[in-house]
Structures are given as structure tokens and as C-alpha cells.
Amino acid sequence: MEQTGPSLQDCVEARKQLGLRPRSINPDDGYTVAVLVVNDTQFYGKSGRQKELRSFRINAISRDHAERDAVDQYNRHRLDANVSDKQIGSMAVDREPCDACGKFGGLRRAIEQSGLAELYLLYPGGSSIIKSAMEET
């Protein structure tokens, strides 16, 4: 079964809704944007320090990244709605995940703490599936 979810074009639209400039090829151009969809509900994440307290702990590098922000928003929604079963999410992000989020497991840790069973991730130049280690046992 093919997983459908947000596209990179959804990141462009999210930038507009968040009042951000269009993404450039400069890696230091400002914000990264992530769009997470779980059960037809969208959560927009952007990089940078957030004023709200985070609903879970994550490594110091990933904590201010757009992917973590979107997953944190989902987790707050999940806790408020008292959703306990494992969900599958799809995320588009307008930059390739950094090593701290991807290679070293920051995003995997975030999905585990937020109750997601797995995450389909789309980014410029690629895609991946991140599964919760708790689901693999």
C-alpha cells in the first residue's frame, strides 16, 4: 500500500502561511519548514527556538529543528485528544535532515516519544521511512 502525505509544495505553502520568505539554495537562509500529516491533520514546524515548553526531550542539536517542532505539535495534540494507539505519520521537510536528526536518531527519538509507530519522510533529493525502535521488537 502506497503512503500518501505532504509534498515539498506543501512546504512552500506552509512558508507562505507562516509569513516566511521562499526557501533558497543558501544553507544559512533562515528557517527550515516541515509539514507533518497524521490522520489527515496537518502540523507545521519551523526551525528556531520556540517559546512553548517542549512536550518531550531530544538531543541539543535537533531540539530547535523544524522536524522536532512539527512532531512536538502532534504530540501536544495527541495528549490533548487522549490518543493512545500508535499512528503513522508523513512528513515533508524543505531541507535534507541533518546528521543529528537523521543519522544519529534525533527524529527517531522524537517519533518514539510522540507515540508514532513510523514516519514517512520526504525531503529534497530523497525520502526515508523511520520506524520506532519500540515497534521493531
**pTM score, whole prediction:** 0.85
More reliable by pLDDT, 91 or 59: 91
Kindly tell me if the per-residue pLDDT of 24 is higher than 80: no
Q: Where are the domains of the chain?
A: 8-23+30-136
Q: Give the chain's count of helices (H) and strands (E).
A: 4, 5
Chain segment 30-81, per-residue pLDDT in tens? 789 999 999 989 999 998 776 665 666 666 666 678 899 999 999 999 989 8
Give domain 8-23+30-136's CATH architecture: 3-Layer(aba) Sandwich (3.40)
Q: What percent of the chain clears pLDDT 90, i.e. is strictly above it? A: 46
3-class state of residue 134 by DSSP: helix
What is the grid cell recorded at 58?
Answer: 531530544
